[in-house]
Amino acid sequence: MDRILIHPPFLITLACIYIASVHKEKDIRTWFEELSVDMNIVKTIAMEILDFYENHRPFTPPSTNP
């Protein structure tokens, strides 16, 4: 995962906070607005993080019941 080489740490942190807020269904738009951060960049990084975990999820074969 080369996100740490591409994006500044504070943007990765904000992307993780954004992911958590969406997952917990919390509206923190006002908080992000106060930071004056480009949400398009934050959302792009969030998608990159989620894509990474989706693509690197360990494979578990489906269980079969006899």
| Residue (of 48, 35, 53) closest to 7 by Cα position | 48
Number of domains making up the chain:
1
Top-confidence residue, 1 or 26: 26
Q: Are 45 and 12 in contact (CB under 8 A)?
A: yes
Is residue 37 a contact partner of residue 14, using CB atoms and an 8 Å limit?
Answer: yes
Residue 24 lies in a domain: yes
Question: How confident is the model over 6-32, as pLDDT tens digits?
Answer: 899 999 999 999 999 999 999 999 999
Residue 40 pLDDT exceeds 60: yes
Q: Is the pLDDT of residue 1 over 70?
A: no
For residue 63, tell me if it sits in a domain. Answer: no
Residue 60 has pLDDT above 80, yes or no: no
Range of the domain at 22: 3-55
